[in-house]
């Protein structure tokens, strides 16, 4: 591949189906939904689903509902609900008035289960889970009928009412749909639709001791909300016949169609909410919004933009193939955007002092610096130049190799937007061998970075005037995992063994004055160092804190041979 995929969404099988359904008049308007379970924060995989669910609805002038899929109460919380709303909004999508909770349909779902029982399509079963595994059998052989399968309707109705009333212990009875014990699809072998479970629900409180299963609840919710296209990930493909069976058996007028696409997997990360929760709970990261997390909240705090995430999802596309996407593609989408939009500034991450011997002490000169060479409208700013400066420690070598074009004894280099300087000497800490001070002279005729005599220097380095430098905490993030596929572990080995224990480094940087004044959440390109964002929680003018979003080097472009 020599150029990236176009940003404009190409067609795909989901869009083709929708286009056909609108053309044939099957639907006048499309309705989709995004149904997260509020048991964790949303991650980049959910962003893909959100872009597909909300994005296609938007594109076709329809609507997309946001529904909390909260049929499984034990791990769900209101904090997660709020984070989900915030993240979907931040990504740029709007559910209008269509915000729903599965739990609000529980009463209707009980009615649906009663309807199935009355029509001889469901029964109360008394097999334990272990017994049921045995009865259900294996795909190549028919299962055995539950002894409860032909229980009279009236008896099932009575038992179901008593299940709800709390007369039986957890797990003793359940309601099963009566479908086909010989089906090669195990999901059709009389699946459970209601179970007894005494659990507090964050929304419904302690009202219920019976809860519907996801397979039963989902088609009902979709049908009630008149969803036209129920887009979900491939693991639900084998559940589709069951989904259709419920819609048919319950006689809903709306006939939502389930369509599956492949999940997003990204290298160097894990995506399951259970595993992400483990990282938070065990303190491997500092919360769900830790900038190293693949959560939307983490990506936001790290400095990713909604546009870059949406563009990434477009490039990933909608397919039926499971595979891994290189995390470098996500970073590439961000760089591409920030290169155009982020103002430039100078910050020295590992400072060493430079003394300009022929520049008067106490004097400050203001030089012009361009804010964004990619955006003339961004204008320019004045930055101070003084006798004492900071440069990066690794922009100086005591013994420079031949091809080293930065600063070294006797060598001349250009200070970006400043002057040419020539190194005349340096001082070392005798104990550590570290350079403590570099001495230089400057050529006053080279202001702005060009010599009137036409002499050239090969190296240009960034710098900050010590007189005005703002000490800044810069958080440098590396990948959270050391390996491309952290979940590929030998039996008995935990995925956390693949954590990169060195994924956060803190630099005590010196920064030019203006970025310190920027409000939290402002992004900059620190010249030669990458893209940075003023931390949304810890940054202030008096104590600036920046997160590195990505370095400048684009490994995606390199790997794609662009």
Contact positions toward Mg ion, by CB under 5 A? 37
Contact by Cβ (8 Å): 367, 415: no
Q: Strand, coil or helix: what is 506? A: strand
Active site residue 300: no
Report the residue number, 59 or 235, with the smaller CB distance to ligand ATP: 235
Could you say which of Mg ion, ligand ATP, none residue 46 binds, taking C-beta under 5 to 8 angstroms by partner kind? ligand ATP
Active site residue 374: no
Q: What is the spatial distance between Cα 199 and Cα 207, in angstroms, rounded to a whole number?
A: 9
271 is a site residue for ligand ATP (CB under 6 A): yes
The stretch among 11-19, 164-172, 264-272, 463-471 that binds ligand ATP (CB under 6 A) is 264-272
Phi and psi at residue 124, to the nearest 5°? -85, 125
Phi and psi at residue 137, to the nearest 5°? 80, -160
To Mg ion, the closest distance from the beta carbon of 201 in angstroms equals 17
Report the residue number, 249 or 316, with the smaller CB distance to ligand ATP: 316
The residue at minimum Cβ distance from ligand ATP is 45
Report the residue number, 216 or 426, with the smaller CB distance to ligand ATP: 216
Q: What is the spatial distance between Cα 3 and Cα 187, in angstroms, rounded to a whole number?
A: 44
Could you say which of ligand ATP, Mg ion, none residue 289 binds, taking C-beta under 5 to 8 angstroms by partner kind? none
294 is a site residue for ligand ATP (CB under 6 A): no
Report the residue number, 59 or 235, with the smaller CB distance to Mg ion: 235
CB environment 515-540: b (16+ within 10 A), e (fewer): bbebeeebbbbbbbbbbbbbbbeebe
Q: What is the spatial distance between Cα 322 and Cα 324, in angstroms, rounded to a whole number?
A: 7
Q: Which among 39, 40, 61, 59 has a CA at the least distance from the CA of 51?
A: 59
Question: Beta strand 229-233 with 545-550: parallel, antiparallel or unpaired?
Answer: unpaired
In angstroms, the Cα distances linking 477 to 273, 366, 485 are: 22, 33, 19
Q: What is the spatial distance between Cα 451 and Cα 448, in angstroms, rounded to a whole number?
A: 9
Q: Which among 242, 295, 290 has a CA at the least distance from the CA of 271?
A: 295
232 is a site residue for ligand ATP (CB under 6 A): yes
Active site residue 263: yes
Could you say which of ligand ATP, Mg ion, none residue 510 binds, taking C-beta under 5 to 8 angstroms by partner kind? none
Report the residue number, 319 or 540, with the smaller CB distance to ligand ATP: 319
Please give the residues from 376 up to 415 whose contact with ligand ATP meets the rule CB under 6 A. Answer: none
Q: Strand, coil or helix: what is 183? A: coil
Please give the residues from 15 up to 74 whose contact with ligand ATP meets the rule CB under 6 A. Answer: 35-37, 45-46, 48-49, 69
Q: Which among 364, 545, 535, 526 has a CA at the least distance from the CA of 471?
A: 545
Please give the residues from 344 up to 383 whose contact with ligand ATP meets the rule CB under 6 A. Answer: none
To ligand ATP, the closest distance from the beta carbon of 274 in angstroms equals 6
Helical spans, DSSP H, in 237-370: 240-249, 273-281, 296-302, 306-316, 327-341
Could you say which of Mg ion, ligand ATP, none residue 539 binds, taking C-beta under 5 to 8 angstroms by partner kind? none
To ligand ATP, the closest distance from the beta carbon of 298 in angstroms equals 14
Q: Is the dihedral of CA 388, 348, 365, 409 positive or negative?
A: positive
Could you say which of Mg ion, ligand ATP, none residue 210 binds, taking C-beta under 5 to 8 angstroms by partner kind? none
Please give the residues from 467 up to 496 whose contact with ligand ATP meets the rule CB under 6 A. Answer: none
To ligand ATP, the closest distance from the beta carbon of 32 in angstroms equals 11
Contact by Cβ (8 Å): 480, 410: no
Look up tokens 């204008």; give the residue: 379
Catalytic residue among 5, 37, 307, 473: 37
Question: Beta strand 460-461 with 435-443: parallel, antiparallel or unpaired?
Answer: unpaired
To ligand ATP, the closest distance from the beta carbon of 371 in angstroms equals 38
Query: Which of 77, 233, 372, 555 contacts ligand ATP by CB under 6 A?
Result: 233
To Mg ion, the closest distance from the beta carbon of 192 in angstroms equals 17
In angstroms, the Cα distances linking 562 to 314, 497, 559 are: 19, 35, 8
264 is a site residue for ligand ATP (CB under 6 A): yes
Q: What is the spatial distance between Cα 379 and Cα 375, in angstroms, rounded to a whole number?
A: 8
Report the residue number, 88 or 440, with the smaller CB distance to ligand ATP: 88
To ligand ATP, the closest distance from the beta carbon of 58 in angstroms equals 17
DSSP 8-state secondary structure symbol assigned to residue 213: -
The CA dihedral of 136, 138, 143, 144, to the nearest 10 degrees, is -70
Contact by Cβ (8 Å): 114, 247: no
Note the Cα 551 to chain centre separation in Å.
18
x/- string (CB under 6 A) for ligand ATP, residues 518-547? ------------------------------
Report the residue number, 306 or 520, with the smaller CB distance to ligand ATP: 306
Longest Cα–Cα distance of the chain, Å, equals 103
Q: What is the spatial distance between Cα 45 and Cα 328, in angstroms, rounded to a whole number?
A: 15
Report the residue number, 51 or 423, with the smaller CB distance to ligand ATP: 51
To Mg ion, the closest distance from the beta carbon of 217 in angstroms equals 12
Report the residue number, 218 or 332, with the smaller CB distance to Mg ion: 218
Q: Is the dihedral of CA 163, 169, 172, 176 positive or negative?
A: positive
Catalytic residue among 48, 189, 195, 273: 273
337 is a site residue for ligand ATP (CB under 6 A): no
Q: What is the spatial distance between Cα 58 and Cα 56, in angstroms, rounded to a whole number?
A: 5
To ligand ATP, the closest distance from the beta carbon of 54 in angstroms equals 12
Q: What is the spatial distance between Cα 478 and Cα 476, in angstroms, rounded to a whole number?
A: 7
Catalytic residue among 263, 353, 416, 439: 263
239 is a site residue for ligand ATP (CB under 6 A): no
Could you say which of ligand ATP, Mg ion, none residue 378 binds, taking C-beta under 5 to 8 angstroms by partner kind? none
To ligand ATP, the closest distance from the beta carbon of 457 in angstroms equals 50
Residues in contact with ligand ATP, total (CB under 6 A)?
A: 15
Question: Among all residues, which ones are annotated catalytic?
Answer: 37, 263, 273
Binding site for ligand ATP (CB under 6 A): 35-37, 45-46, 48-49, 69, 232-233, 263-264, 271-273
């Amino acid at each position: 591949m020599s150029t990236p995929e176009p940003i404009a969404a190409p067609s795909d099988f989901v869009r083709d189906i929708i286009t056909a359904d609108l053309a044939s008049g099957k639907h006048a308007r499309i309705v989709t939904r995004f149904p997260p379970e509020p048991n964790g924060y949303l991650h980049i995989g959910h962003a893909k689903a959100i872009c597909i669910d909300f994005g296609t609805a938007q594109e076709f002038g329809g609507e997309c509902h946001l529904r909390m899929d909260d049929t499984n109460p034990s791990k769900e919380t209101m904090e997660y609900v709020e984070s989900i709303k915030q993240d979907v909004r931040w990504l740029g999508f709007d559910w209008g008035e269509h915000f729903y909770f599965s739990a609000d349909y529980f009463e209707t779902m009980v009615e649906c289960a009663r309807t199935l029982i009355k029509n001889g399509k469901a029964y109360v079963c008394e097999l334990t889970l272990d017994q049921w595994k045995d009865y259900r059998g294996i795909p190549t052989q028919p299962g055995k009928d539950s002894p409860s399968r032909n229980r009279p309707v009236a008896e099932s109705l009575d038992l179901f009412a008593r299940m709800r009333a709390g007369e039986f212990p957890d797990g003793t009875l359940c309601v099963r749909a009566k479908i086909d014990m010989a089906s090669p699809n195990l999901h059709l072998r009389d699946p459970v639709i209601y179970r007894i479970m005494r659990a507090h629900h964050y929304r419904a409180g302690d009202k219920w001791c019976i809860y519907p299963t996801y397979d039963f609840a989902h088609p009902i919710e979709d049908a009630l909300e008149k969803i036209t296209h129920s887009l979900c990930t491939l693991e639900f493909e084998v559940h589709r016949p069951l989904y259709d069976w419920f819609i048919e058996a319950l006689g809903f007028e709306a006939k939502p169609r389930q369509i599956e696409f492949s999940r997003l997997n990204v290298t160097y990360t894990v995506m399951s909410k259970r595993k992400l929760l483990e990282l938070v709970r065990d303190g491997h990261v500092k919360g769900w919004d830790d900038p190293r997390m693949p959560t939307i909240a983490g990506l936001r705090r790290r400095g990713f933009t909604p546009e870059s995430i949406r563009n990434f999802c477009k490039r990933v596309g909608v397919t039926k193939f499971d595979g891994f996407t290189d995390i470098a593609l996500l970073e590439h989408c961000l760089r591409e955007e920030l290169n155009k939009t982020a103002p430039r500034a100078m910050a020295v991450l590992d400072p060493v002092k430079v003394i300009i011997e022929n520049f008067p002490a106490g004097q400050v000169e203001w030089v012009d610096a361009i804010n964004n060479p990619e955006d003339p409208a961004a204008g320019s700013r004045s930055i101070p130049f003084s006798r004492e400066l900071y440069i990066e420690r690794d922009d100086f070598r005591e013994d420079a190799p031949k091809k080293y074009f930065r600063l070294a004894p006797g060598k001349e280099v250009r200070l970006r937007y400043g002057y040419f300087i020539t190194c005349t000497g340096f001082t070392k800490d005798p104990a550590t061998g570290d350079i403590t001070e570099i001495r230089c002279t400057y050529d006053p005729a080279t202001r702005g970075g060009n010599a009137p005599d036409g002499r050239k220097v090969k190296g240009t380095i960034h710098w900050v005037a010590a007189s005005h430098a703002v000490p800044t905490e810069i958080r440098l993030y590396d990948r959270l995992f050391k390996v491309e596929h952290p979940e590929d572990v030998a039996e008995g080995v935990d995925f956390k063994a693949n954590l990169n224990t060195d994924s956060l480094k803190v630099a005590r940087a010196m920064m030019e004055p203006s970025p310190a004044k920027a409000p939290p959440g402002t992004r900059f390109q620190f010249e030669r160092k990458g893209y940075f964002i003023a931390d949304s929680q810890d940054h202030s003018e008096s104590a600036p804190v920046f997160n590195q979003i990505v370095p400048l080097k684009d490994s995606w472009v390199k790997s794609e041979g662009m």
